[in-house]
Amino acid sequence: MNQLEALKQFTTVVADTGDFKQIAAYTPQDATTNPSLILKAVQKPEYAHLLQDAVSRYGGQGPDEVMNRLLVRFGCEILSLIPGRVSTEVDARLSFDTEATLTRARRIIDLYQGEGVHVDRVLIKIASTWEGIQAAARLEREGIHTNLTLLFSFAQAVACGQAKVQLISPFVGRIYDWYKKSAGAQWDEAAMAGANDPGVRSVRSIYEFYKKHGIATEVMGASFRNVGQITALAGCDLLTISPDLLAQLAGNEAPLKRALNASAAKDLDIPFVTYDEAGFRFALNEDAMATEKLAEGIRAFVADTIKLEAMMK
């Protein structure tokens, strides 16, 4: 048994890509996309026609509609290859606008339903800002499920749990990047690997808090830099993994053990906490890493969305 097969015994494996032609080889349950992955895909010859088709058919309805149609087209192609759900992201420029996020999310779901896709097979990805989390809470009450992304802090995870969102995506690799850059020459790669990796520790703390207190929101580790981060989180509800790292797992037959255990978490001494808006904003402000990476992540997704729109023109 290779490590990918072993991981699937403990964790739902999700493919993190817009390149849907790569998905079938790894038989993931779910798949995730984002603007950066879609931008990367449409620059390949085999996907360029999807962008051209969206522009030719819907260009007269404005860039927002063309983007929605393109995202849903990719999502439908992906859903034809997997048994589970696809995550489709709301424009990151709406990250601080609850009402606009709601409008865009509902439109995306309408388009999926127009293609015959059941609402339960789609997760609307929204940045884990206060405004995004409030939008997700309302969508969940409407029966539209959400994936709260760009999540770097415990406070964001707590607020998402309070909002009863379907799933969160804490970004392991980007947390690791920040601490490694901050440490500079003092960084000890070996000492900070595996269970000691700061990104891994962050996901573990969130996972254990949720399981201890019976919070139903699913935890999906994301943004991995190496296989060691993945194997250190074996047992997490879900892990979304790039095709390159899926290939490395599939090619490795070293033993793989469960690292996270929901039953064990219930015996831990973890206090229950909640946040109102002021408390959330203060807690996020106190976390320099999360504050910087959230802002940086939104800017990066916005930049790639703008590049996609430029290609549409």
With DSSP H G I counted as helix, E B as strand and the rest as coil, what are the percentages for the chain, rounded to 5? 60, 10, 30
HSE of 30 in the Cβ direction (CA atoms, 13 Å)? 23
307 is an active site residue: no
- On whether the CB atoms of residues 149 and 126 are closer than 8 A, the answer is yes
Between helix 288-312 and helix 35-42 the angle, nearest 10°, is 30
H or E element that contains 239: strand 238-241
H or E element that contains 221: strand 218-221
Q: Which residues contact 96 (CB under 8 A, 6 or more apart)?
A: 129, 131
Bridge partner residues of 121 (DSSP) = none
Q: How far apart are CA 295 and CA 169, in angstroms?
A: 16
Catalytic site residue from 8, 40, 44, 125: 125
* Residues marked as catalytic: 125
